[in-house]
Structure 1
Amino acid sequence: MRQHTDGPHGGTAADVLPPVGRLYDDGRRLFLHRSGSGGPAVVFLPGAGMVGLDYLNIHDAAAEFTTSVLYDRAGTGWSDQVPLPRTGAEVTDELRRLLHAAGVPTPYVLVGHSLGGAYARHYAQRFPDEVAGLLLMEPAHEDWDAHMPDPRLMVEVEDPHAAAGEGTSEPGEELLQQIRELFTQMLAGWPAPIRERIVDLHLDPVRGRTGPREKNFRTLYGELRRAEDTPDVPTIVLTAMALDPMMSWFMPEQLERRMNEGKRALYEALAASVPHGENRVLDDAGHNWLHAQRPDAVLQAIRDLLDRADT
C-alpha cells in the first residue's frame, strides 16, 4: 500500500481528505490515524454508520499508554467508496492488509462497536495469533434474533432519514437540524475543527448514509457460525442499558426497553462463552454513543485488557 496525504480519487482535497491521519492505497484509499507507541496496539472497528474519528476521544486517551489506531472501512467515512454491503472476510482481510501496510505490529486489542464488534470477533476467529484481546461494545451477534422480542413487534432499524418518512429523498431541514445537534452534542469534547468535519461527513447525502447499506447480517452471521471458535483471549463486553437518543426517532420506548433486556441476556451468554470473558453493564449509556457517554468505562476496559494480555 502507498501512503497519500494529497487529493484523493473523485473529489478535491477540501472535500474528501480527512482532518487527521493518512490515506493508504492498494487499489482503493483507506483512512487510518495512528497515535502513541508500544503494544499491544488498540484498533477501533466502528459501528455501521459510524466513522473512525467518532472514537477520537478514546483513541487520544489510549495513545497516552499504547499505540492506538482509528480507521474507516472501504465505503465509509474518508475511505474510498465501494459497493456495499460486503462480507466479513472482505472486511477483515482489508483491515489486516491495512494494519500491516501501516506498520502496526501484532498482536492487537480489537475494540469493536456494534457491527464492528462482529467484525472484531471474525478477525479473531480467522487470525487468532494476531489478537491479544477483544473489547466488544454492544456487538452485533448471530444469536441476536433469539434474544429479541416477538418479531411481530419489532420495528426495522433503518437510516433515521428514511425512518422519518423521507425515503431516499433528501431529509427535511428539521431532521437535519436534529441530527446535527445530536452529533455536535455527543462530539462536544472533540477539537472544534475536527468535530465540524465529522458532523459534516455524517450529514453528507452519500458518505453519511452508509449504515443501512453496510448491514449484511445474514451473510456475516453465517460466516461467524462457520468459522473457528473465538480464541482464548481476554474479552470484555460492554452492555449499554440506557435509552439511546437516536433510537427515539424510529422506535417506541417500551420496545427499546424490551430489546435491552434481551440484549443483556445475549451479552451475558457471549461473555460466558469464552474462558476469560466478562460482561460490564452500563446503566447510563445508550447503544450508539456509549463511548462518548462513558469514556471512562471504555478506557478502563482497554487498560484491563492490556494488563490481562501482559499476564
Structure 2
Amino acid sequence: MLWLAVLLGVLIGVIGFGAIYQTLATRRDRHRFLPPGKLIEIEGSHWHYQIVGDGSPTVIVDSGAGGPHLDWQLVQPEVAKFTRVLTYDRAGYGWSDLSSEPRTAEQVVSELRQLLQKAEIEPPYVLVGMSLSGLFSRFFAYHYPEEVAGMVLVDVAHERMYEETPVEWVELNKRLEGLLTHVVPMMGRTGLLRLLVTFDALPLAAGLSQKFPPSMRPLAKALYSQTQFGITFAQESAAVSVSMNQAEQARQTKSFPDIPLLVLSAGKPNFDITQEVLEKLQELHADLASESSQGIHIVAHESGHAIQLDEPELVIDAIRQVVEKVRYGNTP
C-alpha cells in the first residue's frame, strides 16, 4: 500500500509538472510565432486567415483533420502567381480560437461562409479540400452551388468510405477515432503530445513535419503541440461519422453543380493504408469525379496521402487547370 501511494504521488506530480510546462510552452510559442495572416473576430471568436495573390476566381483552401493552414505553404505561393488564394485555420487550429460547437461538415461550412463574408471575399470560389475537408467542400457546393465555380479534391474522405472498404480497416479506424477522442486531449493538456512531437516520436506528426522545409519545421511542431490542437483533433475525430452522414444526405437530396472538378488520389500506401484499401479509395474518388460532367480523376503515383506536401506541383497544376477553365472555358 505504501509503494502504491508513492507511485500515485509520483504520477500526480509528473502530470502536474507536465500541465504547467505545457501552459508555459504554449504561451512561449504564441509570442515566438506570430500569425502570418490576419485575425478577424466573428461572434466573439478570433479566426486566422491569409490572402495572397490577385485575380479571380478566389481559391479557398481547407486542410485535413489536424491540419493548420501551414499544410499549404508549398502550394499557396505558387497559386498566388496566377490568382488570389485564401488559406485559413479552422476553429481550434493554428491561431484560430477553439469552438464549443461540434466539428461537423455543416458547422464548418457555416463558419467558413461567415469568415468569407466578414473578410469581404466575394464568390464565386474555387474550393480546394484535402482529406476530411473534402466532405466540407462538397457540402458547401451542394448547399451553395451559385457560390462555387470549381473544385479540387486532394485524396479526400468519401461518405461511403466505411461501407465499401475492408471491414478490418474500418474497425481499426473507428477504434482509432474513439482513442483519439479521449486520449489526445489529455496528452495535449499534460505536455505528452508536445514531448512526442518535439522528439519526432509521434509517427504522423513526424512524417508531416519532415515534409516541410527545415526553416518551417519549428513552427509546424509548435502548432501540433498546442493544447487546443489536441482538443480540436479529438472534436473532429468524434464528428467524422456525422460529417459523412451529412454529405451523404446532401448528395441524395441536392444536385452537385456542373463545374470544373479535379480529384486527386494518393498512389502509394502509407500508415494503415494497404494496397487493397488504396485501390478501393481510388475507386471512390473516381465516383466523386463523376458528379460533374467536367470531372477528372488523377492518381498521384509517387505520393502518399499528403499530396500537397509529397508532390505539390500536382496540386498547383490541378488548381491552375480549374482556375483557367473557370476564367476561359475549356479553351484557355
Same fold (TM over 0.5): yes
The alpha-carbon distance between structure 1 residues 138 and 183, as it changes in their structure 2 partners (threshold 3 A), is closer
Deviation at 1:152, TM superposition (A): 7.1
Q: Deviations over 1:66-94 (max 9, x none)?
A: 00101011122210011263232221111
After TM superposition, list the pairs within 5 Å mapping 1:116-155 onto structure 2: 116-151=133-168, 154-155=171-172
Deviation at 1:208, TM superposition (A): 4.7
* SS of residue matched to 1:285: coil
Deviation at 1:21, TM superposition (A): 0.1
Q: Deviations over 1:91-135 (max 9, x none)?
A: 111111111221222111100001111100011111111111110
The alpha-carbon distance between structure 1 residues 46 and 167, as it changes in their structure 2 partners (threshold 3 A), is closer
Determine the C-alpha separation between the residues in 1 that align with 2:52 and 2:197: 35
Q: Say if 2:37 is the partner of 1:21.
A: yes
Deviation at 1:212, TM superposition (A): 3.5
Q: CA RMSD in A?
A: 2.8
The alpha-carbon distance between structure 1 residues 153 and 118, as it changes in their structure 2 partners (threshold 3 A), is closer
Deviation at 1:154, TM superposition (A): 4.0
**1:55 is matched with which residue?**
72
190, 211, 228: which one pairs with 1:206?
228
**1:232 is matched with which residue?**
258
Determine the C-alpha separation between the residues in 2 that align with 1:33 and 1:42: 12
- Contact 1:138 1:238 survives alignment (8 Å): yes
Deviation at 1:258, TM superposition (A): 1.9
Determine the C-alpha separation between the residues in 2 that align with 1:166 and 1:134: 32
* One-letter amino acid of the structure 1 residue matched with residue 247 of structure 2: L
Deviation at 1:168, TM superposition (A): 3.9
Determine the C-alpha separation between the residues in 2 that align with 1:166 and 1:116: 20
Deviation at 1:174, TM superposition (A): 5.9
**1:37 is matched with which residue?**
54
Size of the aligned set, in residue pairs, is 288
Determine the C-alpha separation between the residues in 1 that align with 2:301 and 2:111: 35
- Contact 1:38 1:67 survives alignment (8 Å): yes
Determine the C-alpha separation between the residues in 2 that align with 1:13 and 1:103: 33
Determine the C-alpha separation between the residues in 2 that align with 1:217 and 1:238: 21
Determine the C-alpha separation between the residues in 2 that align with 1:139 and 1:147: 15
Q: Say if 2:102 is the partner of 1:85.
A: yes
**2:276 is matched with which residue?**
258
- Contact 2:55 2:83 survives alignment (8 Å): yes
Q: Deviations over 1:25-66 (max 9, x none)?
A: 012111100001111011111101001121111111101110
* One-letter amino acid of the structure 2 residue matched with residue 260 of structure 1: L
Determine the C-alpha separation between the residues in 2 that align with 1:271 and 1:88: 20
Bigger shift: 179-188 or 56-65?
Answer: 179-188
**2:23 is matched with which residue?**
none
Q: Of Structure 1 and Structure 2, which has the larger fraction of its residues in helix?
A: 2
Tell which structure's C-alpha radius of gyration is larger.
2
User: What stretches of structure 1 of length at least 5 have no aligned partner?
Assistant: 1-10
* SS of residue matched to 2:229: coil
Deviation at 1:226, TM superposition (A): 2.5
Determine the C-alpha separation between the residues in 2 that align with 1:150 and 1:219: 19
